């Protein structure tokens, strides 16, 4: 007899492939904190089932017959806004574009599916990544209700169960700090929307290079750069080997490559490598931050946005030890308060703010800098 799980995260898998549904369900069910309660083959069936069963997280395929994932997403969230939806797609330019549109429409996260069942069954990285994403999003699941999901629709403001946060002690800013020469940003789950919000507030107002590590697979980072340019007006591009940093321009670490800054003559350039993942991530924030500090030292301002895990904490420690400053997104406005929570609870942040207040705070810090 199968052992019952205590208060598991309840998941539905939506995919037109029976093989994928079975494989993903078995991967998730191995975890003691996750229980797959239903699987369906298209978006229309998913929308119907959301009315009938308790769910915390949905793994939603993009390309399906009858009703695709992008069409189903708003219908699902209209019925139950508390459900966290992870979009699943293969690594194509088209699907990367659709995934970013889905994030703007309310999806909580995305995951790149292996292209074959052989890759999926042999892919320990995919299984680990999938389970960690589900658990990270499930932390903030609504309390269970005796009401049916349809009746619970009116209870959108239901109490949310969250991990208790540790005490936060802000690190004082230097009294007379140097004007930053670079802005370094790290983000993960929920990051694209947070990046759009941050950079819209900075557009045309700071003139230093900006470097970003957002946990994303290949192809997705190319599309992210295009969306940032269109949405914020700040020119952004996916870094190439040897890309030079330029004032007022954003360089984004490409999927599956760490981005390391190096000095070459009178320029600072981006170099790329496929060294082992750091904190289970490639690209990772820590190596990028550490390389930034080697060049810019105390003239570095770092920002850690929403994301699961703790990537960026060690690099942020290095940054503040060199005299730089770290700001972080607050828990309430984060999709997952993993990365920003890690730096906040480490006592190395000089500000922990809602995403809407971070750009004004960054601008204020720049305006008060000397030199």
Average pLDDT over residues 96-113: 91
User: According to the model, what pLDDT value does residue 366 have?
Assistant: 95
Average pLDDT over residues 35-56: 96
Q: pLDDT, tens digit, for every residue of 176-227? A: 888 999 999 999 999 999 999 999 999 999 999 999 999 998 889 999 999 9
pLDDT tens for residues 136-169? Answer: 999 766 555 545 444 444 443 333 344 445 578 9
- So which residues are the catalytic ones? 188, 215, 311
Residues 325-366 have pLDDT tens digits of: 999 999 999 999 999 999 999 999 999 999 999 999 999 999
pTM above 0.85, yes or no: yes
Residue 160 pLDDT? 38
SS (H, E, C) the chain: CCCCCCCCEEEEEECCCHHHHHHHHHHHHCCCCEEEEEEECCHHHHHHHHCCCCCCEEEEECCCCCCCHHHHHHHHHHHCCCCEEEEEECCCHHHHHHHHHHHHCCCCEEEECCCCHHHHHCCHHHHHHHHHHHHHHHCCCECCCCCCCCHHHHCCCCCECCCCCCCCCCCCCCCCCECCCEEEEEECCCHHHHHHHHHHHHCCCCCCCEEEEECCCCCHHHHHHHHHHHHHCCCEEECCCCCECCCCCEEECCCCCEEEEEEECCEEEEEEECCCCECCECCCHHHHHHHHHHHHHHHEEEEECCECCCCCHHHHHHHHHCCCEEEEECCCCCCCECHHHHHHHCCCCCEEECHHHHHHHHHHHHHCCEC
Confidence band of 12 (pLDDT split at 50, 70, 90):
very high
Q: Is the pLDDT of residue 88 over 60?
A: yes
pLDDT more than 90, % of the chain: 77
Give me the domains of the chain, ranges plus CATH numbers. Answer: 9-154 (3.40.50.2300), 182-367 (3.40.50.180)
Predicted confidence (pLDDT) per residue in 261-317, tens digit: 999 999 999 999 999 999 999 999 999 999 999 999 999 999 999 999 999 999 999
């Amino acid at each position: 007899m199968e052992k019952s799980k205590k208060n598991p995260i309840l998941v539905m898998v939506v995919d037109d492939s029976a093989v994928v549904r079975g494989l993903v369900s078995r991967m998730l069910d191995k975890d003691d904190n996750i229980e797959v309660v239903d699987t369906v083959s298209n978006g229309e069936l998913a929308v119907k089932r959301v009315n009938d069963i308790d769910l915390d997280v949905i793994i939603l395929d993009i390309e399906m017959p009858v009703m695709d994932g992008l069409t189903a997403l708003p219908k699902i969230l209209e019925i139950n806004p508390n459900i966290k939806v992870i979009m699943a797609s293969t690594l194509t330019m088209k699907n990367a574009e659709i995934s970013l549109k889905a994030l703007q429409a309310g999806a909580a996260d995305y995951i790149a599916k292996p292209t074959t069942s052989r890759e999926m069954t042999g892919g320990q990285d995919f299984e680990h990544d999938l389970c960690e994403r589900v658990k990270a999003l499930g932390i903030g699941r609504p309390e269970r209700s005796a009401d049916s999901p349809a009746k619970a629709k009116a209870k959108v403001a239901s109490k949310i169960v969250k991990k208790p946060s540790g005490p936060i002690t802000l690190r004082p800013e230097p009294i007379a700090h140097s004007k930053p020469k670079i802005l370094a940003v790290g983000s993960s789950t929920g990051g694209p929307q947070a990046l759009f919000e941050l950079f819209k507030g900075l557009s045309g107002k700071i003139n230093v290079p900006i470097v970003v590590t957002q946990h994303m697979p290949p192809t997705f980072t190319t599309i992210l750069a295009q969306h940032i340019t269109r949405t914020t007006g700040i020119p952004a591009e996916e870094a190439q080997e040897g890309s030079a940093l330029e004032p007022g321009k954003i360089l984004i670490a490409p999927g599956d490559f760490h981005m390391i800054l190096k000095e070459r003559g009178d320029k600072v350039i981006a170099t790329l490598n496929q060294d082992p993942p750091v904190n289970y991530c490639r690209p990772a924030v820590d190596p990028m931050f550490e390389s930034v500090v080697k060049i810019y030292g105390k003239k570095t301002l770092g920002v850690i946005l929403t994301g699961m895990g703790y990537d960026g904490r060690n690099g942020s420690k290095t940054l503040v030890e060199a005299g730089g400053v770290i700001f972080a997104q607050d828990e309430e406005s984060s999709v997952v308060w993993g990365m920003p929570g890690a730096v906040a609870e480490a006592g190395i942040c000089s500000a922990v703010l809602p995403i809407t207040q971070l750009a004004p705070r960054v601008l204020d810090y720049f305006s008060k800098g000397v030199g």
